Chain A
Amino acid sequence: MPVTDDPATTAALARFERAVAAETRIEPRDEMPDAYRATLVRQIAQHAHSEIIGMQPEANWITRAPSLRRKAILIAKVQDEAGHGLYLYGAAETLGVGRAELLDKLHTGRQKYSSIFNYPTLTWADVGAIGWLVDGAAITNQVPLCRCSYGPYARAMVRICKEESFHQRQGYELLHTLARGTAEQRAMAQDAVDRWWWPSLMMFGPPDGDSPRTERSVAWRIKRHTNDELRQRFVDICVPQAASLGLTLPDPALRFDEARGHWEFGAIDWDEFRAVLRGEGPCNEERLAQRRRAHEEGAWVREAAAAYAAKRGGRGGGEGEEVAA
């Protein structure tokens, strides 16, 4: 909790915390503590950045998709991700920051995106593993956010979760087809699951003992569950799904704990997690470089759109184009 000696601020904070505890939705014009605003801006922006960077590992396979049906599904999915990025930047903008500023923070490394997108998509089966595991983990994280205390974020998440669960089923179905295909296809599916399993578990963030912001985010109803709670929920969902796919998960320590009613799993390599967050993952540099390049090479296009809009506006015809810049 922020500490303050100012009685007016203290009273306002108490009012805010009572409202949040009573499950009142906070809206853009409502009073909110600076730290609440800052936490949300950071979280929503990083969520938006993850959607945008997350287009890259999948777009990597669009031009090589092995059937026209799969190609159409994959293009639609990448398009959805761009749309999710747009909703989320819109939600962040209700908190008083601009999209251009947030993109600048992404491009200069001052804001992060999900660690998972720093892993490469090496085979077609990775597209399925991303759908099943990465989107599955994202949904586990995001469904509780549909009840987040900040209204614009919660509403964006309702729309996003619907599309994400569709993607997740498509990913599962893709792997299911491979797992029942030729020996080579099956091996491709298993290899992809082996490579994506642990990074997917890392998507829930550091363990609870090492997650300094969790307590306050839970109190402010930004988060509803701790990282470890969500990670456990995800493992419990995935283990039977892996069995029905006929694939194994790369964890010899996996076993069902009757007493707890949960799957026990092995230790996560937190050194690797921290290295990826520091920018030392397999694709960190490539992902950021591609995003910067797209932005820099597109500058003349955005400038043209702005100049054209200004000219048309100057002609006073009311026929000026709305510019997407």
Chain B
Amino acid sequence: MTAPGVALPLADDALILSHRLAEWAGHAPVLEEEVALANLALDLLGQARALYAMVGDEDALAFLRNERSFYNAQLTEQPNGDFAHTIARQLYFSTYQELLYGRLATGTDDVAALAAKAVSETAYHRDHAVTWTLRLGDGTAVSHTRMQRAADALWRYTGELFHPVVPGIDYAALHADWTARVTAVLTEATLTVPPFAPRRAGGLGREGVHTEPFGRLLAEMQHLHRSHPGASW
């Protein structure tokens, strides 16, 4: 297995989360969210494509690698669940991505240029997630319960986000910033910050170790491409 480098894990995060968000098409709770979720999916897919271009052929990278050669964080591959699960995943990930890209953008390499461009997209993504976390957390009793359940269920996958990927980034400081921001949003949403430490503290996804739903995601995503080796689309 080749070393994943810097661009590949970031690209895989964006590709896989984009795929999950696009699964909402035609299923969203309001039409405005059909537009918004597709918009998020498109932004992330655009980021993935730009990052893959730094590594090699985007389609070979997306469609011809197996589970053990993908380096996305396990959080990004978690199934959509109900709308609250999708929003919790978005809150955790977009907060992480905005902070990470903000730091990366101060560099001088290709990834820095991409991060600088993507940071405004991630700010929008975070705004969307924050707004919905507040509405669901501080909406009705039902939505409060669902949002709390989602925040709790996905919390264990957040530790992995701070497993070092990019050299020169202070991941401990990133984690502290992330925790402060997420805590503020959950608190304002009248939710409780999950009282247990994230269990997924290792670099699992970053080392190509994934959760069970991920294999099925890849089977669906790659089936057509793999069925026609060498074809152009």
A interface with B by C-beta (< 8 Å): 52, 55-56, 59, 62-72, 75-76, 78-79, 82-83, 85-86, 89, 124, 177-178, 181-182, 184-185, 290, 293-295, 297-309, 311, 321, 323-325
Is there an interface contact between A290 and B26, defined as CB atoms closer than 8 Å? yes
Tell which of B29, B63, B143 has the most Cβ of chain A within 10 Å.
B29
Chain A residues near B35 (CB-CB < 8 A): 79, 82-83, 86
A68-B62, A83-B35 are known contacts. Are A63 and B30 too (CB-CB below 8 A)? no
A72–B48 alpha-carbon span in the complex (Å)? 11
Nearest 7 CB-CB pairings of A with B: A298-B29, A304-B139, A304-B143, A79-B38, A82-B34, A324-B32, A59-B25
With A304-B140, A304-B143 already in contact, 12 other A-B pairs whose C-beta atoms are closer than 8 Å: A55-B25, A64-B224, A67-B225, A68-B52, A69-B49, A79-B42, A301-B136, A304-B135, A305-B139, A321-B134, A321-B135, A324-B33
Residue among A67, A70, A294 making CB contact with B27, cutoff 8 Å: A294
Instruction: Check if B173 is an interface residue, CB within 8 A of chain A.
Output: no
Is there an interface contact between B59 and A67, defined as CB atoms closer than 8 Å? yes
A72-B49, A307-B139, A308-B134 are known contacts. Are A302 and B29 too (CB-CB below 8 A)? yes
22 contacts between A and B (CB under 8 A): A63-B22, A64-B220, A65-B224, A66-B224, A68-B15, A75-B45, A76-B42, A78-B38, A79-B35, A79-B39, A181-B232, A184-B228, A297-B27, A300-B143, A301-B29, A304-B140, A304-B143, A306-B139, A311-B138, A321-B131, A321-B134, A324-B33
Is there an interface contact between A55 and B34, defined as CB atoms closer than 8 Å? yes
User: Chain A contact residues: over half helix, strand or loop, or mixed?
Assistant: helix
A31–B106 alpha-carbon span in the complex (Å)? 60
Interface residues of B in 42-56 (CB under 8 A from A): 42, 45-46, 48-49, 52
Instruction: Check if B41 is an interface residue, CB within 8 A of chain A.
Output: yes
Chain B residues near A295 (CB-CB < 8 A): 29
User: How many whole Å from B150's CB to the nearest CB in chain A?
Assistant: 12
Chain A residues near B63 (CB-CB < 8 A): 66-67
A235–B143 alpha-carbon span in the complex (Å)? 52
A64-B220, A124-B224, A301-B136 are known contacts. Are A72 and B42 too (CB-CB below 8 A)? yes
A323–B28 alpha-carbon span in the complex (Å)? 15
Is there an interface contact between A86 and B32, defined as CB atoms closer than 8 Å? yes
Chain B residue with Cβ nearest A298? B29
Chain B residues near A302 (CB-CB < 8 A): 29-30
B interface with A by C-beta (< 8 Å): 15, 19, 22-23, 25-35, 38-39, 41-42, 45-46, 48-49, 52, 58-59, 62-63, 82-83, 131, 134-136, 138-140, 142-143, 146, 220-221, 223-225, 228, 230-233
User: Chain B contact residues: over half helix, strand or loop, or mixed?
Assistant: helix
A78-B38, A79-B38, A303-B143 are known contacts. Are A72 and B135 too (CB-CB below 8 A)? no
Is there an interface contact between A304 and B49, defined as CB atoms closer than 8 Å? no
Is there an interface contact between A75 and B38, defined as CB atoms closer than 8 Å? yes
Chain A residue with Cβ nearest B45? A72
A86-B32, A303-B140 are known contacts. Are A59 and B41 too (CB-CB below 8 A)? no
A294–B31 alpha-carbon span in the complex (Å)? 10
Is there an interface contact between B233 and A308, defined as CB atoms closer than 8 Å? no
User: How many whole Å from B85's CB to the nearest CB in chain A?
Assistant: 12
A325–B233 alpha-carbon span in the complex (Å)? 39
User: How many whole Å from A60's CB to the nearest CB in chain B?
Assistant: 8
Is there an interface contact between B27 and A290, defined as CB atoms closer than 8 Å? yes
Is there an interface contact between A63 and B142, defined as CB atoms closer than 8 Å? no
User: How many whole Å from B216's CB to the nearest CB in chain A?
Assistant: 11
Tell which of B27, B63, B131 has the most Cβ of chain A within 10 Å.
B27
A112–B137 alpha-carbon span in the complex (Å)? 37
Residue among A181, A294, A298, A307 making CB contact with B140, cutoff 8 Å: A307
Chain A residues near B220 (CB-CB < 8 A): 63-64
Chain B residues near A177 (CB-CB < 8 A): 232-233
Tell which of B39, B42, B223, B224 has the most Cβ of chain A within 10 Å.
B224
Chain B residues near A85 (CB-CB < 8 A): 31
A287–B82 alpha-carbon span in the complex (Å)? 20
A68-B45, A70-B233, A177-B233 are known contacts. Are A78 and B143 too (CB-CB below 8 A)? no
A301-B136, A301-B143, A321-B135 are known contacts. Are A59 and B228 too (CB-CB below 8 A)? no
Chain B residues near A66 (CB-CB < 8 A): 63, 224-225, 228, 231, 233
Chain B residue with Cβ nearest A76? B42
Is there an interface contact between B231 and A182, defined as CB atoms closer than 8 Å? yes
Is there an interface contact between B140 and A75, defined as CB atoms closer than 8 Å? no
Tell which of B19, B35, B139 has the most Cβ of chain A within 10 Å.
B139
A63–B27 alpha-carbon span in the complex (Å)? 14
Chain A residue with Cβ nearest B83? A301
User: How many whole Å from B146's CB to the nearest CB in chain A?
Assistant: 7
